[in-house]
Structure 1
Amino acid sequence: MRDCDAYAVASRDIVFESFDGEAVVLNLANGKYFGFSDSGSRVWQALSSGVDAQALIGLAAGGSTIDAAELGDFISQLLELELLVRSEAAAQPLPGELPAELAATSEPLTVSIHDDLADLIIVDPIHEVEEPLGWPAVKQAS
């Protein structure tokens, strides 16, 4: 990792919500959705808001501390899945509650990938209404 590693959500097609502290990320372009372990959810929320990745190293999570290799692997996976991209924007400060939230987690950093609803998500009747095509419009696979 570089001296300052800030990240941003990769595109407008990536949407996410937190449900009782668990982050669910949806890629509207390909219909895949992603679940995170409890510690992964906290780290996703920090990274997607522009927190410097270096600030996360050494924090307690999943019964241990986050080391550079584990965080690097997690970030690499998020980059490979095209959920995050490197950002040149100034890194945001570490949220004050994050260390305590991570210390209370019980699972290591993980991402689970789901595509069982991809066909339904790609046929997005809410967002893809075009007058000449009617409703719903089916997105063409890229």
Structure 2
Amino acid sequence: MYKLNTEKMFYDIADGQAIVINFETGMYYGTSTLGSMVLDGLIQGKAPKRIVDSIQNNKDCVTDIDQSVERFIDALAEKEIIIADDQPYNAEQLNDLVVVDGDYSLDLNEFAEVQDILLADPVHDVEADMGWPTLKEED
């Protein structure tokens, strides 16, 4: 089974889109709609095979969806978003993952735009005699 790497990651779904923030690196990740459903299923303890079966229930499912899901899971694990867990898979019923407009993309996008802000520590990155908040003068 897989689980969210809670030691490093924050995870939330907003409007069907997964957002993952790595607090150690300041990188954040976004996924495609289907990727968000797959990631959420994994975090809920669903077996990858059950996730694939649920996607395949769509009438226009692409033939290589199992390989796409496997590559997506590998990418999540490579970025340490998910980690292996020795707990048994969740046996509760998994609702069909409904694919909208035939979009079977399983994208994991990585962003660094706010890396400096996410890594900033405003409590510790201040001078005691200057107070807080203050802007540092440029050299």
Tell me, yes or no, if the aligned pair for 2:46 and 2:94 is still in contact at 8 Å: no
User: Which among 9, 26, 29 is matched to residue 14 of structure 1?
Assistant: 9
Question: 1:95 deviation in Å?
Answer: 4.8
Please tell me whether residue 110 in structure 1 is matched to residue 107 in structure 2.
Answer: yes
1:92 is paired with a residue of what secondary structure? coil
1:55 to 45, 50, 58: 50
Q: Cα RMSD (Å) of the superposition?
A: 2.6
Aligned counterpart, 1:84:
82
C-alpha contact (below 8 Å) 2:54/2:94 kept by paired residues: no
Q: How many residue pairs align between the two structures?
A: 124
Identity %: 23
Normalized against structure 2, the TM-score is what?
Answer: 0.76
What does residue 61 of structure 2 align with? 64
Shift of 1:110: 1.0
Change (3 A) 1:60 1:96: closer
Q: Is the 8 A contact 1:17 1:24 kept in 2?
A: yes
2:41 pairs, out of 40, 46, 67, with: 46
d(CA) in 2 for partners of 1:36 and 1:95? 24
TM-score by length of 1: 0.74
Structure 2: tracts of 5 or more residues without a match:
134-139
Kindly report structure 1 stretches of 4+ aligned residues shifted beyond 6 Å. Answer: 133-136
Instruction: Report how far residue 14 of structure 1 moved.
Output: 0.4
